Amino acid sequence: MERVRLGRSGLEVSPICFGTWQLGGEWGEVDREAAIGAIRKARDLGIDFFDTAQAYGFGRSERLLAEALGDELSGPGRDALTIATKGGLRPVEGGVERDCSPDFIRAGCEASLEALGVETIDLYQLHWPDPATPLAETGAALAALRDEGLIRHVGVSNFDAAQMAELSETIAVETLQPPYHLFERAVEETALPWCADNDVGVLAYGPLAHGLLTGAIDRTTEFPAGDWRAESPMFAEPALTGNLAIVRQLAEVADDVGCTLPQLAIAWVLDNPAVQVAIVGSRNADHIAAAVAAAGVTLDDDSRARIAEIASKAVGAPGPSPEGNRR
C-alpha cells in the first residue's frame, strides 16, 4: 500500500487503519488469540496505523493491541507505527457518559499510555463532544498534554464542523474520525467540506456499515449477547429489509468492478477526496487481506454513478452513540 498524508497532522500512514472497537467486548465475547492474530496479520500486510480507545473495554483493547504489536511498539521499531487512541468517555453504571473536563482527559490519557505501554500517543482524539465542558477548557488540556510530550497530534471523533472550528480556536484540530459509509452520509454536508477546506485529515470509521456491507447479514441473523447491533435500528425492521435490498444491488456493482462487496464499500469511502483513511476492524485474520486489497480498487465514473443511484434509495438509520455504547 502507498502511504497517505493525514491532513495537516503530517502523519504518513497506510490508507487502511486497523480499528479495535470489536476487541473491547461490545461485539460479544472476544477470542483473545484470534484478536491478537488479526492485529499481527494486519501488520504483516503493511498496515502501520492502528486506532483504539480508552473506552473500548476501558483498557482491554489497548492492552490487546500492545501485546499483539509487542517489541515493535515498545522498541526500536516504534517510529514505524502510528497509534491513535481516544478519550473523553467515563464509565458509569449502565454505560458511559461524556466527560472532556481537563482532569478526566489527563487521567484518561495517562491510563491509555499505561495500557499501551508507550511514552507518547501519536494521535489523541476526543471521542465525543461534551456539552458540559467548554471546548476552550478541553483544548487547553490537550495543549498541555502535547507540550509535555504525552501526545503528538490532536484529533476529534464524532464532532461536527462548528465544534471543530470552536475547538480550533484553542488548539488546532488535525484530524476527524467520523462515521461514514453508504448508509451514513451526513458528514458529506458540512463536516467533510470543512475538513477539506482546513486540511484536516479524515479517518472514517464503519466503512462496512458495521457488517451490513459485508453481505454476511440477512433477516435471520442473530447477534450474540453483548453485541450492540442487537439493539440498533439499522439491523431491525423496517430498515433492515430495505437495506438488504440495497446490499444486493451493490454486490452486483462489485462483481462488475471485479472486487468483493466489502472491498467496494471501502473503496467508495476512500474515493471521497476529503477522506484519507478507512478504519477496518476484524477479529478474523482472514478478512484483513481483503480489506488491504480494497485500497487498490479504483472506481470509474460509471461505477460511481451506479453506486450513487443505489445508495440514494438506502433506508437510513442512526448509528451508535455513547449513551448506548462506547463507539
What are the sequence ranges of the domains in the chain? 4-210+268-297
d(CA 19, CA 179): 13
pLDDT of residue 283: 76
In this predicted model, what pLDDT tens digit does every residue of 278-319 receive, in sequence order?
A: 999 887 888 899 999 999 999 999 999 999 999 987 765 445
- Per-residue DSSP letter, 113: H
Measured CA distances, 169 to 162, 176, 274 (Å) = 11, 16, 22
Q: How far is CA 304 from CA 105, 242, 250, 310, in A?
A: 41, 21, 11, 10
Q: What is the sign of the dihedral through the CA atoms of 141, 198, 121 and 282?
A: positive
User: Of residues 247 and 222, which shows the higher confidence score?
Assistant: 247
Higher-confidence position of 236 and 305: 305
Alpha-carbon distances of 148 from 66, 104, 120, 143, rounded to whole Å: 22, 17, 10, 9
* Amino acid present at 187: V
DSSP codes, 192-226: HHHHHHTTBEEEEB-TTGGGGGGT---TT--PPTT
Q: Name the pLDDT band for 325 (thresholds 50, 70, 90).
A: very low
Protein fold of 4-210+268-297: TIM Barrel (3.20.20)
| Direct distance between the N- and C-terminal alpha carbons of the chain, in angstroms, rounded to an integer | 27
What confidence tier does 326 reach under pLDDT thresholds 50, 70, 90? very low
Relative to beta strand 201-204, strand 121-126 is unpaired
Point out the catalytic residue in the list 56, 124, 180, 205.
Answer: 56
As a whole number, mean pLDDT of residues 88-111 equals 95
Query: Is 56 an annotated catalytic residue?
Result: yes
Give CA–CA dist 316/159, Å, rounded. Answer: 20
Cell numbers given for 49: 496505523
